[in-house]
Homo-oligomer: A and B are copies of this chain.
Amino acid sequence: MLRRVANPVRTPRTASFVPLIQREIERMIGTGELTGGTRINESTLALRLGISRGPVREACRALEQIGLLRSELNRGFFVREVSTKEALDLYDIRAGLFGTAGRLAAAIITTVQLRGLEELIGEMDAAIEAPDIAAFYTLNNEFHRQVVVASDNDKLIELYPLLEAELHLFRRRGLVLPGSMRTSNDEHKAILDALRQSDGTGAARLLERHILAGKARFLRTLEDENATEARPGPLDPRHSRSKDR
């Protein structure tokens, strides 16, 4: 058998670079390594990843489509900045979809899934007592994710996280008010009750309000920020330009 035992050093084509690059850029945006408005230097990025510009461009094109990047003719790709209006719009969309997820989930959620949600609520209570804001943040996300998964709507399961990722492009980091954790978890408990009773309409209403409450907190935070920013700020808005070599 003359089957060639390919030496694996060079390109055994078992996967495409594109999804890897795409996830890498997503990661860099998620961690804040790439922040809103910055330009993606295709050549530099390709060099750093040890590949050529082609796959990088394809990955950027994909990320443009899901709203994480935008492109400018002859100037390339930029990390998108999400305006306040867009962020608020996203809250409304998430509220609607989350409500839909709950309505669907109420009809088909399993006892195992219900127990999972119950446990998360318990752990969130613990995180509140600690208090451990980071843990609460993670648990909260997981709670939301599991509700969406319980809807068994694959398209929704795919879509919902994309909207959340886009929302995260609004400034750096989420804005969780410590004081809201207890209220938030109370809402979780009500949601769990509705799901337990297969009350689709009730669950939908509660879930929707849960997100809209987040939107309200978000708005309040913005107003506070504007109030403090009324003070004279730094004059030079763009001072940070690092050249890697």
A153's contact among B13, B64, B93, B156, by CB below 8 Å, is which? B93
Q: Which residues of B contact A159 (CB under 8 A)?
A: 93
A154's contact among B57, B74, B89, B100, by CB below 8 Å, is which? B89
Chain A, 67-111, contact with B by CB distance < 8 Å: what is the 0/1 string?
000010110000000000110011011011101100110000000
Q: Is the interface of A mostly helix, strand, loop or mixed?
A: helix
Cβ-defined contact, A93 with B97, below 8 A:
yes
Copies in the complex: 2
A96's contact among B58, B89, B100, by CB below 8 Å, is which? B100
Considering only residues 145-167 of chain A, those with a C-beta below 8 Å from chain B are 153-156, 159
| Chain B, residue nearest A153 (CB) | B89
Q: Which residues of B contact A66 (CB under 8 A)?
A: 65
Q: Which residues of B contact A18 (CB under 8 A)?
A: 61
Task: Report the interface size for chain A: residues with CB under 8 A from the other chain.
Answer: 35
A216 to B57, CA, bound (A): 42
Cβ-defined contact, B104 with A92, below 8 A:
yes
A89's contact among B58, B74, B155, by CB below 8 Å, is which? B155
Chain A, 39-73, contact with B by CB distance < 8 Å: what is the 0/1 string?
00000000000000010011101101110000101
Cβ-defined contact, B93 with A156, below 8 A:
yes
Considering only residues 1-20 of chain A, those with a C-beta below 8 Å from chain B are 13-16, 18
A54 to B104, CA, bound (A): 42
Chain A, 12-34, contact with B by CB distance < 8 Å: what is the 0/1 string?
01111010000000000000000
Cβ-defined contact, B15 with A73, below 8 A:
yes
Q: Which residues of B contact A14 (CB under 8 A)?
A: 73
| Chain B, residue nearest A95 (CB) | B100
| Chain B, residue nearest A104 (CB) | B92
| Chain B, residue nearest A64 (CB) | B62
A92 to B99, CA, bound (A): 11
Given A57-B58, A92-B100, A93-B100, A85–B154 Cβ distance below 8 Å? yes
Cβ-defined contact, A153 with B92, below 8 A:
yes
